[in-house]
A and B are shown apart, each in its own frame.
Chain A
Amino acid sequence: MDLIWKGILQAIALLFQGNPEILDITLLSLKVSGVATGISLLLGLPLGTWLALGRFRGRDFMLSLINTGMALPPVVVGLWVSIFLWRSGPLGDLHLIYTPTAIVIAQTIIAAPVVTGLTVAALQQVNPNLQLQLLGLGASRQQMILALWREARLPLLAALMAGFGSVISEVGASMMVGGNIRYQTRVLTTATVLETGKGEFAMAIALGFILLLLAYLVNLALTWIQQRGARP
């Protein structure tokens, strides 16, 4: 209990003192996870829409792949991204290993199936006759899709929150492709693992507390947007 209490006090102190290293770690966490979630949205929303509304051979197989991807272990993702980005790997010449970009790549691979799969589910729960009705009112296909996104905005925002949640909290991939390098690739989760390994439990608790607070604040903002749309 003493340990936990010390950790909370230390977290508050770190936040109020504006410790530069903690600030750097926090901002980097937000940046890489934010960018990865954004890219996942840019990929996952159109792909999920195509899978939800399309009728083509192989659709069910693709859906099963996406759903399987939602359960990808981050450490396995980290392993394969490392292999590709390694100096002697196929993309070694890009010199991306142990950079924030490598973490973004790995986290995008983790978040994209989550956003895609939940986009499919979100659009499939919209009345299928609405598509016909909108087309029958003169909507182009693009206008119809925008209208469907608007109709499903609550579950789509939930997909975005789930995508963000899956990457802000992962450690395996970040550790393997980022290397947890101080002031370069150290994020909240990898820093927490490091401090725990050093026996600095109070610091680890403080970092964990900040991580939770960060996740909460981002989701608070998204939830506010979501529920504002839900009000009758």
Chain B
Amino acid sequence: MPILDIHELMIQRGERTVLTVDRLQVTEGEVLAVIGPNGAGKSTFLLALARLLRPARGSINFRGKPLEALGELEYRRRIALVLQEPLLLDTNVFENVAAGLHYRRLPKSEINRRVGEWLNRLGVAHLRDRRARRLSGGEAQRVSLARAFAIQPEILLLDEPFSALDAPTRLRLLEDFQFLLAETPVTTLFITHDLDEALLLGDRVAVLLGGSLRQVGPPEEVFNAPADEDVAAFVGVETVIPGRVVKSTEGELVVEAGELRLEAVGEAAPGREVLLCLRPEDITIWPKDGSPLSSARNRLGGRVVRTTPQGPLVRVLVDCGFPLVALVTRASARELELHEGRAVTAAFKASAVHVITR
């Protein structure tokens, strides 16, 4: 039985529908990453799951029972919610972590034991007597997480827990959090707009766009086989080529895209309108006059429109008759002298193409 079973959920604010989820089941112990841009309804979804927002329609079942059958307080004492900013109380770290345990009226010895354990596991035991207002951002977020874990919730709901942190702090906390989840398997739903976090932590990824749930699945499925072009655009599939299938033989497709014929792997009948989706890292480029041998079935001539540095990588926009985005290392960009106007050949394998039927 899933720990959470959501049916035809609709949340409204005033007259406006801000969230719809047709069906979502969450397995006990899994980590579900809920991704989407700002305003997609992610926080609304989390508040509805925490029973802090009433749905206009639909049901949420917890362990097979509708939430309405459970007392509101009884349910909220079986989960833990962590909001985006670490909202700590104006007292010391120990009392902050103990807060949820005090609300549940646990014995003092149990409170001391759990607080001690989770302060250690989040690496903030040395801060136990420090006042919360004197903590750094990273320390405060660790205390906030310790406060939630100490409750030993059946479901952990996290709203962008790492977004307010600087990059090095975020990375350290992410690693520790990943380790914690592996050690303490608690059903976790966390919201993020960072795709890397979703890839790193999520057993499954749920994509919320425009207030509706568009796709749920393992990260590799969502990122490499997005359900539609909106999901494709959000998960970083930057090249989307409209075309029409002209030939389909045992899963190998030939697609006409303008004047070009491209090869892809997928299921679609001849004559079907499709979208070909390509991730930037699946595209190889080299100078036009070079012609290395490779198994890539698709080779296109084009011209570099723009290069954009991205840390150790460079995003290269190539005009092949349609815009094609490739991702290469800085070293490659340098060696290949990829600059605006450079004539290049871009290649990608048929198997790298994800086909969306329209």
Which residues of A come within 8 Å of B, CB atoms? 127, 129-130, 132-140, 143, 147, 150-151, 232
Contact = CB atoms under 8 A, between A and B. Distances in A.
Given A150-B90, A151-B89, A143 B134 contact: no
22 contacts: A129-B87, A132-B47, A133-B82, A133-B83, A135-B76, A136-B52, A136-B80, A136-B157, A137-B81, A137-B103, A137-B151, A138-B73, A138-B77, A138-B100, A138-B151, A139-B100, A139-B103, A140-B73, A143-B103, A147-B89, A150-B89, A232-B131
- Does more than half of chain A's interface fall in helix, strand or loop, or is it mixed? helix
B147 interface: yes
Nearest to A153: B90
Nearest to B83: A133
Contacts of B99: 134, 137, 139, 147
Nearest to A138: B77
A130 B76 contact: no
B85 interface: yes
Nearest to B134: A232
Nearest to B78: A138
A139 B77 CA distance: 8
A143 B100 CA distance: 10
B340 to A, nearest CB: 46
B104 interface: yes
Given A136-B83, A137-B81, 16 more contacts: A129-B83, A132-B52, A133-B81, A133-B82, A133-B87, A135-B50, A136-B76, A136-B82, A137-B100, A137-B148, A138-B76, A138-B151, A140-B73, A143-B103, A147-B99, A151-B89
Nearest to B87: A133
A73 to B, nearest CB: 37
Contacts of B131: 232
Contacts of A139: 99-100, 103
Interface of B: 47, 50, 52, 73, 76-77, 79-83, 85, 87, 89-91, 99-100, 103-104, 131, 133-134, 147-148, 151, 157
Contact of A138 (B52, B85, B87, B103): B103
A13 to B, nearest CB: 46
- Does more than half of chain B's interface fall in helix, strand or loop, or is it mixed? mixed
Contacts of A137: 80-81, 99-100, 103, 147-148, 151
Contacts of A130: 87
Contacts of B100: 137-139
A127 B104 CA distance: 23
A138 to B, nearest CB: 4
Given A143-B103, A232-B131, A232-B134, A136 B90 contact: no
A55 to B, nearest CB: 13
Contacts of B76: 135-136, 138
A139 B99 CA distance: 9
A150 B99 CA distance: 13
B240 to A, nearest CB: 38
Contact of B85 (A129, A134, A140, A147): A129
A91 B47 CA distance: 52
A136 B99 CA distance: 11
A143 B133 CA distance: 22
B50 A136 contact: yes
Given A137-B151, A139-B103, A132 B80 contact: no
Nearest to A154: B90
Contacts of B87: 127, 129-130, 133
A147 B147 CA distance: 15
B52 A140 contact: no
Contact of A132 (B83, B89, B103, B151): B83
Nearest to A231: B131
